[in-house]
A and B are shown apart, each in its own frame.
Chain A
Amino acid sequence: MKTSLIAAVLSVGLAFPSFAQDKILNVSYDVARELFEQINPAFAAKWKADTGRDVTIDQSHGGSSKQARSILEGLPADVVTFNQVTDIDVLAKGGLLDADWRAAFPNEASPYYSLPAFLVRKDNPKGIKDWDDLVRDDVKSVFPNPKTSGNARYTYLAAYAFALEKYSGDQSQAQDFVKKLFANVPVFDTGGRAATTTFAEKEIGDVLITFEAETGGIAKQYADKGFVRVTPSLSVLAEFPVAVVEANAKKAGSEEVSKAYLGFLYSPEGQKILAENFYRVNDEAVKAEFAAGFPDVKLVTVEDVFGGWDKVTAEHFAEGGILDKLFVNQ
């Protein structure tokens, strides 16, 4: 009995061996599983062709702040592919990578990007085209609670930036605009996934606001419902930063393959996979090929409109900040 148990454990252990080959752990945000399931085999094939070596890429997905925390506590990530710049900054502060990590790769180390956009019901019965339409009395919007969801914070900032532009920079008019938007939300879910369920399965609301990349995936998932994707005239740039976790990669001897892996995201082949997954990219040829799926939009950055994440966190999202006022007084 005892020996057979040990034998069973051993044999299962041998079924998942670690080969003497290249191996990296990519620690990533929570909705990127399908994306990297397509990226990883494509990179492995290229790595094999370039170097003749095999590479195994392990994936870990979770909320990107939680992932950063785990890496700080010893999760042996070789590379990170996150959806928040601040979560990589945390790793830099923890001494795991260089403070100027954004200079290591093109486009501020963000190989792809997205923006808050809309998903509306079949044939867009309410004629929703822009942020203006979301403050109409007959339109109900669905997005998660900006107090708990990073996704919804982008929505909040995009609506705020749109209103600032519309009212030529008048803060109080912009805040009234956002307040009206909040008043039109029937239910604030805690996260993006729950908001998607509210909109798509419980059929509550006229429009779901989330990242453009998400609206593509949701429309595909619920193809029978005929949801229509709508891109507003203005939105906020949402970056997806990447970095090699130098301390871990050095220890594991995986620096070269880690760098090549992240570099692959910038290659035409990588960019094409990204565009197929509804992320916007910078490669000109890929951009031209997928132009129909990505309507023109005026993109503003958190740095330009709100003075950076530290400032926006202190002014808007901190306890008693602008968000609290607009949220409570709705």
Chain B
Amino acid sequence: MTASAHVTAGALAPRESRLVPRLLIGLALLLTAVFVVVPMVYIFHRAFAAGWSVFAANIAEPGTLHAIWLTALVAVITVPVNVGFGIAAAWALARFRFPGRKALLVLIEIPFSISPIIAGICYLLLYGRQGLLGPWLLAHDVQILFALPGIVLVTMFVTSPFVVREVLPLMEAQGSEQEQAAVTLGASGWQIFRRVTLPNIRWALLYGAVLCGARAVGEFGGVSVVSGSIRGQTNTLPLQIDLLFNDLNIVGAFAAASTLTLIALVVLVLKAVMESRRG
């Protein structure tokens, strides 16, 4: 070992590499604290500022309680549908080469890149009274907008890419050898799916479903356009927070916001667990 090499490896490089990472880690921690931790702690601080009983009374307020229930219902409908859609789309894209495959890939990602409010307005223009399908729906007494169906449709649109985006890369990486082997052993299509495909993708699938659920619960912009904000009927939790805040009901707004944050934190923990399982 030469003297210069010794200097580079033993004295100069380590000193530099110790200082710079520490600085970067410190900066990252600081920014995380300022931008994420402090506001989040503040939400809970404000929610409980007037005491536990006031917090409980605000959550138990019928409008807020209904908003929590509605938000959960929307997620319960949206997530399974998008899981089904996600598996089907990922399977088609990973296992088959067909004309328009690239176009389908792009189409699936559209909800990621356009603002949810555009989705809301599109549905308004399509299903609204003055819209394309509106007069027909009106004549047949079908209420889509300003009711649960509209909220679910927009939420599905916004959250549709999550499962595909998680499952597709995994399916592509794994290839189809195992499935082909199963075919040669005489397995039926359903058996292959249940015994081979599903176990291989289950963690990615769950991870995608969790992300999809988190997004569904928090959706504001698109839902705001099609909800009609009828209290106790079509107000989701994010809309209820906005309403309470505009009402100068600060404790109520923060109580509702802390509930939503809590849901997000639970999802985050689930996500972390799944990430470690997925390896």
Contacts and interface: CB of A to CB of B under 8 A. Distances in A.
Contacts of A217: 248
A33 B252 CA distance: 13
Interface in A189-248: 193, 196, 217-218, 221
Contacts of B234: 60
Contact of B66 (A5, A16, A59, A75): A16
A124 to B, nearest CB: 22
Interface residues of B, number: 27
B278 interface: no
Interface in A14-29: 16, 25, 27
B228 A31 contact: no
Interface string B102-126: 0000000000000000000000100
A75 B247 contact: no
Given A12-B69, A12-B73, A217-B248, A74 B146 contact: yes
B245 interface: yes
Contact of B232 (A31, A58, A221): A58
Contact of B229 (A62, A72, A76, A221): A62
Interface in B143-159: 143, 145-146
Contact of B146 (A16, A33, A76): A76
A181 to B, nearest CB: 25
B145 A74 contact: yes
A70 B228 contact: yes
Interface in B26-79: 66, 69, 73, 76
A60 B134 contact: no
B145 A58 contact: no
B245 to A, nearest CB: 7
A218 B246 CA distance: 12
Given A60-B229, A218-B248, A73 B69 contact: no
A196 B249 CA distance: 13
B200 interface: no
A25 B247 CA distance: 19
B246 A193 contact: yes
Interface in A64-98: 70, 72-76, 94
Contact of B128 (A9, A33, A74, A193): A74
B243 interface: yes
A132 interface: no
A217 B134 CA distance: 40
Contact of A31 (B134, B143, B246): B246
Contacts, number: 68
Interface string B225-248: 000111111100000000101111
Interface in B228-274: 228-234, 243, 245-248
B248 A196 contact: yes
A61 B146 contact: no
A137 interface: no
Given A9-B73, A60-B229, A73 B247 contact: no
B2 interface: no
A58 B134 contact: no
B142 to A, nearest CB: 10
B229 A31 contact: no
B129 interface: yes
Contacts of A30: 243, 246
A33 B243 contact: yes
Nearest to A33: B247
A218 B230 CA distance: 25
B183 interface: no
Interface of A: 5, 9, 12, 16, 25, 27, 30-31, 33-34, 58-62, 70, 72-76, 94, 193, 196, 217-218, 221
Given A33-B247, A74-B134, A217-B248, 17 more contacts: A5-B76, A9-B73, A16-B232, A31-B246, A31-B248, A34-B247, A60-B228, A70-B228, A73-B129, A74-B127, A74-B146, A75-B145, A75-B146, A75-B228, A76-B146, A196-B248, A221-B248
27 contacts: A9-B76, A12-B69, A16-B66, A16-B232, A27-B228, A30-B243, A33-B231, A34-B247, A58-B231, A60-B228, A60-B229, A60-B230, A61-B231, A70-B146, A72-B130, A73-B145, A74-B128, A74-B134, A74-B143, A74-B145, A75-B145, A76-B143, A193-B246, A193-B248, A217-B248, A218-B248, A221-B248
